[in-house]
Structure 1
C-alpha cells in the first residue's frame, strides 16, 4: 500500500506519452508509414526503459500501466499484420465442422464452397500468400480461433476475444515470471523488461500474435519444473507445443536437467526423463487427434516446410549463404539451404544438450535462450514477434542481447513501406551487426566470468 502513496512522484508525463503513442499505433498508423512507425516505437522504447528505471521498486504501478497500455488496443484492428484474418477464417471453419488443416481458402473461394460467413472479406484480408497455403497453426491455437469466431459474424467481436485471451496470457506471464524470478533470487522488476517492452505490447496485444500465450504455458511449466512438479510441468509444456511447434526445440535440453548425482557420478534420471517426454508426447498427440486424417500430414507438413524452403524475411546468416549461392550457382539456393540450416541448428542443440550442464533451472533457461537464438540467427524468416520467446527467457539469465534485438528488429517493417515489399538489406545488416556483436560480447564476458569463479578470483 505504501507504494500507492508515492503516486505524486510517479512520472505521469511518461505514462501520458505512452498512452498517446500507443493510441497512435493502434488507431492512426499506416503500415506503409515507416518513419512514423519507427519514431513512435523509439519513443515507446524510451518510455518503457525510463519507467522501469524510475519505478522498478513500484511493482503494482508498473503492472497497472502495462495493463493500461494493452487496453488501449481493445477496439483497434491490427495494422501491421494480416494474420488475424486467417485466424478468424480457421475459427469459422472449425465452428462449421470443417477441418481447417485440409482446405485452402483460395480453392474454397474459387469453387464457391466456403462454408463460412464473410468468406470473401476474410479471403481478401488475409492476402494471397496465406490464402494459397494450408494453415500451420497448432490445435490449441485453432481452439482459440474458434472461441473468437463464436463471438460474432463481423471482425470486431473475434478481434476483441483474441485480444482478451492474449492479455490474460500476459497477466499469467507477469504472475509466474515474477514468482520464478523470486525463486531464483533475481530482481522481480526484470519481468517488466518483457511486460512493458513495446515489442510485446504491439506485436501480441496490438497485432494478435499468439507467441505470448505459448510463453505463458512455457514459463508456467518452468516454474513447476523448478518446484519438481514435473508431471504437470510436462502437460503445460505440451500445451506450449500445441500453441507453437517451436517449443519442441527445447525438449533435448531437458536431458541435462534430469541428471542426478550419486556418489560423485552424474547420470540421467531416465525414469523421470522418459516420463516427462512420454507425457509431452501423449498430450501433443491427443491435441492433434481430432484433426488427423489421411491427408493431414501432407498438408500440415507442406505448410511447415514453407518456413524453411520458400519464405525469406529479415534473415541474417541465411542472406550471406544466399549471396554465396548466387555467386556460385547463379540462383537462389533456399531449398538446399532450408534443408541444411535446420541440421546445423539440430547439431548445435545437441551440443548444448550433451556438452553443457543444464542441471539447474538457471542453466536450463540459459541453454534454451542460446538454442532458440541460434535457431533464429540461422532461420530464413524472422518476423519481429518471433523474438517474444527469447525475450522472455533472457530475463532469467545474464544475457541482454535480445533486449537490444527487440528494438532493432522493428527496422524490418521498412519492407512494407514500398509497393514491391523489397527489404532494405542495409537496415537488415545494421540490425544483425549490432545484435551479433552484443551477443558475442556477452558470450565472451560470461565465459570469462565463469572461468574466474572457478579459479577463485
Structure 2
C-alpha cells in the first residue's frame, strides 16, 4: 500500500476509535477527555484533507455509522424530539403547551413518562422546531416502545440519509465545476459536523443540504426548484431566512419577485400542517424567549452584557438581545444588497451573512456552525473550519452540577475566528502582502 494510503488508513482507524468512545463511552461532563478526543479527531481530519474521493466518501459514511446504535451523550435535545413526536401521535399540537403542563395529573399522557420528562432541558418552554423537524419526530416515534433507542435509531437513519445525499451533492458540484474532489473532506470528514449531526441528532446538516441546493439552483436560473429548496431549508431551521436578501437577486435582478413568491408560497405549504392559533402563540413565545432570555457562547453580547451590569446593575438581555438582532439584520441587508466587501462569490457573501448573524446572537451552540462549514467547501474561506474546532471548547463548561461558562475558552474561540475572518475577508491583498513581508523580516 502506498505511504499516502497508509496515512489515510491510520487516520481513519484512529478516528473510528475516538468516535466509538464519544458514541458509547464518554459523557459531556468528561470535559478534558472530550477535548483530547476532539483534538485527535481534528489532527486526523487534517491528515485526510488530500485523500482520494472514494476514501473521503467511504470514511465520511463510516464515521457516521459508528454512532448508529448510540444514544446521544453530548446533547439532550433529542428528548424534546421524542416528546414532540409522541404528542403528534396523540393528536396533540406540540406547540400547544410546555412539557410541564403534561406532568399535572389531569393532563397526563401515558407515553409522556417522568423518565422522559426528566431528560428535557426546557421543561417550562414551548417547542421551537419547524415542520421538517416535526415530520421526522413523528416518523421516528411511530414504533416507540418506551426505550430511547427505538426513537433515536430511525431518527438517526433519516438524518444519515440526508447527510449521505448531501455528500454526493457536494461531490457532484465539485466534479461539474472542475474543482478538486478532495474539497469534499472539509464537510464529509469534519469532526464537528459528524459529532453534532450524526452523533447528537441536530438538523443543521439537513438544512445545509437544502440551503446549498437553493444557492446552486437559483444561480443556474432555476427559479422554481431553487426557491422551493430555500423554503425547505427554512422549514428545517428558521435561520436560512437570512439568506433571502442575497438569493432574491441571485437569479437576476428582474427575477427577484419570482424567487420571493416561490419561497413564500413554498414556506406556507411546508408550514401548513403546523399553522393555527396554537402554533402562532407557541412559536411567538419561543422566538421571544430566544432573543430575550437564552444565552450561550455569545461574542459581542457577552461584552455588552457586562457593560449593562456595570451601568444598570442587572442583565439587560431583554432589551439587548432584540437590539443586537436588529443591528445584525440591518448589517446583513447592507452586505446582501451591496455585495460588500466587493467581488465576492455568492457562497462567500452568504458565509459573511451567517457569520454576522452569529456574532449578533445571544446563543451560538456548536451545531450552528455546521452550515457555515458546508458553505466553506464552496467559498474557500478557512474561518469556518477554524471555528468548527474552537467552538467545541464550549464543552469544557459542562459539570456534574450544571454549566459554568469557560470565559477563557470563549475569548480565545472568538479572537481566533474573528482574526481569521478579518484576514480572509476584510484585508485587501496588498495589505496582506505587506504584513507577510513584515513578518519575514
> Which category describes the TM-score, using the shorter chain as reference length?
over 0.9
**Which residue does 1:222 correspond to in 2?**
215
Structure 1 379/59 Cα, relative in aligned 2: closer, same or farther at 3 Å?
A: same
**Which residue does 2:41 correspond to in 1?**
44
- Contact map agreement 1:92 1:116 (CA 8 A) in 2: no
- The 5 Å alignment of 1:325-344 reads 325-344=308-327
Is 1:354 the counterpart of 2:337 in the alignment?
A: yes
**Which residue does 1:262 correspond to in 2?**
none
SS of residue matched to 2:272: helix
1:107 to 85, 98, 101: 101
Structure 1 337/280 Cα, relative in aligned 2: closer, same or farther at 3 Å?
A: same
Cα distance in 1, alignment partners of residues 29 and 239 from structure 2: 30
Is 1:151 the counterpart of 2:143 in the alignment?
A: yes
- Contact map agreement 1:415 1:422 (CA 8 A) in 2: yes
Structure 1 219/442 Cα, relative in aligned 2: closer, same or farther at 3 Å?
A: same
1:32 to 12, 29, 37: 29
Cα distance in 2, alignment partners of residues 211 and 333 from structure 1: 29
- Contact map agreement 2:96 2:278 (CA 8 A) in 1: yes
Cα distance in 2, alignment partners of residues 89 and 346 from structure 1: 33
- The 5 Å alignment of 1:40-439 reads 40-53=37-50, 55=51, 58-115=52-109, 117-127=111-121, 130-153=122-145, 154-259=147-252, 268-269=253-254, 272-356=255-339, 363-417=345-399, 419-439=401-421
- Contact map agreement 1:32 1:418 (CA 8 A) in 2: yes
Cα distance in 1, alignment partners of residues 29 and 380 from structure 2: 36
- Contact map agreement 1:253 1:358 (CA 8 A) in 2: no
Structure 1 114/368 Cα, relative in aligned 2: closer, same or farther at 3 Å?
A: farther
Offset of residue 378 of structure 1: 1.5
TM-score, normalised via structure 2 length: 0.93
SS of residue matched to 1:32: coil
Offset of residue 237 of structure 1: 1.1
SS of residue matched to 1:242: helix
SS of residue matched to 2:336: helix
Offset of residue 79 of structure 1: 0.4
- Contact map agreement 1:31 1:37 (CA 8 A) in 2: yes
TM-score, normalised via structure 1 length: 0.90
Cα distance in 1, alignment partners of residues 429 and 298 from structure 2: 27
Offset of residue 167 of structure 1: 1.2
Q: Which runs of 5+ in 1 are unaligned?
A: 260-267, 452-457
Structure 1 97/5 Cα, relative in aligned 2: closer, same or farther at 3 Å?
A: farther
Structure 1 74/204 Cα, relative in aligned 2: closer, same or farther at 3 Å?
A: same
SS of residue matched to 1:115: coil
Aligned length: 433
Cα distance in 1, alignment partners of residues 382 and 100 from structure 2: 43
- Contact map agreement 2:218 2:250 (CA 8 A) in 1: no
Offset of residue 75 of structure 1: 0.7
- Contact map agreement 1:352 1:367 (CA 8 A) in 2: yes
Cα distance in 2, alignment partners of residues 124 and 344 from structure 1: 37
Once the two structures are superposed, residues 140-169 of structure 1 have per-residue CA deviations (whole angstroms, 9 ceiling, x without a partner) of: 110010010013222112111111111111
- Contact map agreement 2:218 2:251 (CA 8 A) in 1: no
- Contact map agreement 2:56 2:182 (CA 8 A) in 1: no
Cα distance in 2, alignment partners of residues 99 and 133 from structure 1: 14
> In angstroms, what is the RMSD of aligned CA positions?
2.3
Offset of residue 435 of structure 1: 1.0
Cα distance in 2, alignment partners of residues 442 and 223 from structure 1: 23
Cα distance in 1, alignment partners of residues 184 and 110 from structure 2: 41
Once the two structures are superposed, residues 200-248 of structure 1 have per-residue CA deviations (whole angstroms, 9 ceiling, x without a partner) of: 0001100000111111111222232233222011111111100000010
- Contact map agreement 1:106 1:131 (CA 8 A) in 2: yes
- Contact map agreement 1:357 1:363 (CA 8 A) in 2: no
Q: Which runs of 5+ in 2 are unaligned?
A: 434-441
Structure 1 114/183 Cα, relative in aligned 2: closer, same or farther at 3 Å?
A: farther
Cα distance in 2, alignment partners of residues 114 and 87 from structure 1: 18
Offset of residue 287 of structure 1: 2.0
Answer with 173-182 or 131-140: which moved more: 173-182
Answer with 137-146 or 92-101: which moved more: 92-101
Once the two structures are superposed, residues 408-449 of structure 1 have per-residue CA deviations (whole angstroms, 9 ceiling, x without a partner) of: 001101121352411021111111111111111112345659
